[in-house]
Chains A and B, each alone.
Chain A
Amino acid sequence: MNIVVLVKQVPDTATERKLTSDDKTLDRAASDGVINELDEYAIEEGLLLKEKHGGEVTILTMGPEQATDSIRKALSMGADKAVHVSDEALHGSDALQSAYALSRALGRIEFDLVVLGSESTDARTGVMGAALAEYLGVPQLTLADKVDVDGQAIKVQRLTDYGYDVVEAELPAVVSVVEKINEPRYPSFKLIMQAKKKPVEKLTIADAEIDAARVGLANATTETVDVAPAPPRAAGTIVKDEGEGGVKIAEFLAEKKFV
C-alpha cells in the first residue's frame, strides 16, 4: 500500500507566534518550526498501516526551505521518502490554494491513501482533508480515531460530538486523523542517521504543474483584513468554600451553560 502523509511545518506552539506586519503572513523567523502536532499522529498512523499491510510511506510537504527540518524528522520516525513542494510563488497561499497545489503534487505520486492531521495549530481551518479529497476526486474520511484497511476497502471510526460514526469507502481515499488515534513514536537514532540518506524530491510549482495564477497571496481566495493579539486572560474567580462551595461551583457552571 502506498501511503502519503501530509506534513505541515508550523510555528512551535510553545513560543510566541507572530504575523509579519507587511503582508500579514506568518513570521517564520519569529519562532522555531515544528511538525504540526496532529500530523505526527498522521505519520504514526501511516507507519502503523505500512507495518500491517506493507508498502511505502511518502511524506508530502509544502513550505519554504526550512520545512526540510520537519521532513527530516518525519523520515526519522520511519517514513521512506519525501516530496517537498517549495516555491516563492506559493508564499501566502490560503487553505484552498494549498489544497489545489498539494493535489497537483499528489497527481505525480501513486497513492492508495493520503493521511493528514485534521487541522493545523497555526491556521486551524480544518478544511484541508475535505478540500484535498474534492480536488483529487476521491472519498474523504475525516476526524478518524481508528482506521482499518482490508484490501481496497477502508473503514474509519469518525469522532463526532455525540460519539462516533463508522464511515466506509474504497481506496484511494483521504483520511484526516484526530489525536485519539494513536501515540506517535519517538524517532530512533538509527532512523535519524538514515534520514539524511533517504530520497527527498524537491518540486517547484513548474515541476508539479501548479498554475501560478491559482496560488500565492495575490491570488488568495481569502484575505486577512486585520489582526490583533489575543486579549490577556481575565483573572479567574476564586470560590472560597464556607460550607456551600459545591453550590457556588454548580451555579457558576450553570451560568456558563456547562451544565
Chain B
Amino acid sequence: MSNAHKATAPDPGDFLEVDGSLSAEERDIRDTVRDFATGELLPNVADWFDAGTIPDARALAKSFGDLGVFGMHLDGYGCAGASAVSYGLACRELEAVDSGLRSFVSVQGSLAMTAIHRFGSEEQKNTWLPKMAAGELIGCFGLTEPDSGSDPGSMRTRARRDGSDWVLDGTKMWITNGSIADVAVVWAATEDGIRGFVVPTNTPGFSANVVHRKLSLRASITSELVLDGVRLPESAVLPGSGGLGSPLSCLNEARYGIVWGATGAARACYQAALDYAATREQFGRAISGFQLTQRKLADMLVDVNQAGLTALQIGRLKDAGRCHHTHVSFGKLSCVAAAQRVAGEARSIHGANGITLEYPVLRHMLNLETVATYEGTAEIHALSLGQAVTGVSAFR
C-alpha cells in the first residue's frame, strides 16, 4: 500500500523539504524576511558592494528595526522574543542576498544587544535595547584587536580605575558598523579579568576609522576603534560580565546566525547556477545538459541541503535548550565550508559572466572568505570539535 501513491518529484529549490517541518509562525517570518530582502535589498546590493559601503545605513537600520529583526530572539525591551529557528531563518534569507546584510543584523542583535541583554544592568537595558531593537540606535561590538584575533585573551585594551571612573585605552579592529555606531560594547582587560563596557561613541577619546580597500563583505561598513583615554562612569561597566567567557558567549549567538546565513548564501549561488545553466547555450544546447555541469549541480544540491538540515537541527537543539557551543562550531565549520564549495562551483558554471556583479556568485564567494574567518576561523572551530570529541585541547 505504501506505493499506492507515487511521490511527487522533489522541489529543486528545497529538495529534502528542509522547510517542511517549519511551524506557521516560522514560515511567516521566513516569508516576510524573504519578501523584504528580495524587494528592498537585492535590487541595491550589487551597487553597495561596488561602492564598498552601505550609503544610507541609518535608513537600513530603521527598516530592519520596523521589521523587528534586531534582537528578535531576545525577550522584552522591545524585542520580538522569536524562536532560535525563526532567527536562523531570518539570517538565512538575509544572507541569501548578501553576507554583509546578515552581518549588520548579527552585530546589532547577537553581539551588541545580546551583551547588554545578558550582562547589563536594568538601567543599561532600558537605556539602549528598545531603541536598538527599533533601529533608531546602532551598536557595535569591540573584541578583536589588530594583534589579537583567534586568541582574544591576549587583548591589549586596558580599563583602569581612576577614582570611581574607568579609563579605557586600546585599539579594536574589524568592527562591523564601528564608524556609524551610537554605542560600542567594548571588551577590555581589568585587574579582575576581562569586562564589558557600554561606550557611547560620542565619549571624548573614542574614534572610529573606516577600513578601506576590502575585497570581501563590501556591502558592509568595517572599522577600527581607537580608545584614547576614554573616561567612563562606573555605570558603564556591564555588571554581569566577567572573564573571556562573556564575550565568547555573545559570539556563540552570532555564530549560530552564521550557520544559517551560510546556507542562504549557498542556496542563492546554487539557484543562480541552476538558472544560468538552463539558459546558457553552448555547442547548440543548454549547458545544464552536459554531464560535467550536472555533476557540479548535483554536488551543490547535496551541499545546500545537507547544510540546511544541519542548521535546522542545531536550531531545534537551541530551541530545546540543548545546543552546546560545540554544536555551533560544528555548524559554522560545516555550513560555511559547504557554502564556499557551492559558491566556487556556481562561479565556474557562470563562466566569464560569473566574475561580474551582474550575477551574485563571485560576490557571495568573496563574502564567504570573511564569513569563514570571523567569529572563529575554520581552524578554531576544528580545534573546538577536536577538543569536544577527544577531551584534549590542542590550542589552549
Q: Which residues of B contact A189 (CB under 8 A)?
A: 29, 32, 67-69, 72, 80, 82, 86, 90
- B66-A193 in contact (CB<8A): no
Closest to A188 in B: B68
**Known contacts A186-B66, A186-B67; A192/B35 CB under 8 A:** no
A128 within 8 A of B: no
Q: Which residues of B contact A193 (CB under 8 A)?
A: 25, 80-82
A88 within 8 A of B: no
CA–CA, A188 and B86, complex, Å: 13
The segment from A69-77, A117-125, A168-176 that touches chain B is: A69-77
CA–CA, A2 and B36, complex, Å: 30
Closest to A34 in B: B31
- A72-B28 in contact (CB<8A): yes
CA–CA, A188 and B25, complex, Å: 12
Q: Which residues of A contact B67 (CB under 8 A)?
A: 186, 188-189
- B28-A76 in contact (CB<8A): yes
A196 within 8 A of B: yes
Q: Which residues of B contact A187 (CB under 8 A)?
A: 28, 32
A residues 177-203 near B (Cβ < 8 Å) are 185-190, 192-193, 195-196
* A76 CB contact (under 8 Å) in B32, B36, B86: B32
- A69-B24 in contact (CB<8A): yes
- Mark A37-80 against chain B: 1 for CB-CB distance below 8 A, else 0: 00000000000000000000000000000000100110010000
Closest to A73 in B: B28
Nearest Cβ on chain A to B239's Cβ, whole angstroms: 28
B residues 50-98 near A (Cβ < 8 Å) are 66-69, 72, 80-82, 86, 90
Closest to A75 in B: B28
Closest to A77 in B: B32
Q: Which residues of B contact A76 (CB under 8 A)?
A: 28, 32
Q: Which residues of A contact B66 (CB under 8 A)?
A: 185-186, 188
CA–CA, A73 and B67, complex, Å: 14
Size category of the binding interface on chain A: 10 to 19
Q: How many residues of B contact A (CB 8 A)?
A: 17
Q: Which residues of B contact A190 (CB under 8 A)?
A: 68, 80
- A192-B28 in contact (CB<8A): yes
Nearest Cβ on chain A to B271's Cβ, whole angstroms: 15
Nearest Cβ on chain B to A67's Cβ, whole angstroms: 13
CA–CA, A195 and B35, complex, Å: 18
Nearest Cβ on chain A to B38's Cβ, whole angstroms: 12
CA–CA, A176 and B329, complex, Å: 54
CA–CA, A192 and B67, complex, Å: 10
Closest to B28 in A: A192
Closest to B32 in A: A187
- B32-A195 in contact (CB<8A): no
Q: Which residues of A contact B68 (CB under 8 A)?
A: 188-190, 192
CA–CA, A48 and B1, complex, Å: 55
- A186-B82 in contact (CB<8A): no
CA–CA, A73 and B36, complex, Å: 14
- A192-B81 in contact (CB<8A): no
* B24 CB contact (under 8 Å) in A186, A188, A196: A196
Closest to A194 in B: B80
CA–CA, A61 and B317, complex, Å: 37
- B25-A196 in contact (CB<8A): yes
B residues 8-50 near A (Cβ < 8 Å) are 24-25, 28-29, 32, 35-36
CA–CA, A48 and B82, complex, Å: 26
B residues 149-166 near A (Cβ < 8 Å) are none
Closest to A187 in B: B32
Nearest Cβ on chain A to B60's Cβ, whole angstroms: 14
- B25-A192 in contact (CB<8A): yes
- A186-B28 in contact (CB<8A): no
A residues 143-187 near B (Cβ < 8 Å) are 185-187
With A186-B32, A187-B28, A193-B80 known, 14 other A-B pairs at CB within 8 A are: A69-B24, A72-B24, A76-B28, A185-B66, A186-B36, A186-B67, A189-B29, A189-B32, A189-B67, A189-B72, A192-B68, A195-B28, A196-B24, A196-B25
In the assembled complex, 29 residue pairs joining A and B whose CB atoms fall closer than 8 Å, in A order, are A72-B24, A72-B28, A73-B28, A76-B28, A76-B32, A185-B66, A186-B32, A186-B36, A187-B28, A188-B66, A188-B67, A188-B68, A189-B29, A189-B32, A189-B72, A189-B82, A189-B86, A189-B90, A190-B68, A192-B29, A192-B32, A192-B68, A192-B80, A193-B25, A193-B80, A193-B81, A193-B82, A196-B24, A196-B25
Residues of chain B having any CB pair with chain A under 8 Å:
24-25, 28-29, 32, 35-36, 66-69, 72, 80-82, 86, 90
* 6 tightest A-B CB contacts, nearest first: A189-B68, A189-B80, A188-B68, A190-B80, A192-B28, A187-B32
Residues of chain A having any CB pair with chain B under 8 Å:
69, 72-73, 76, 185-190, 192-193, 195-196
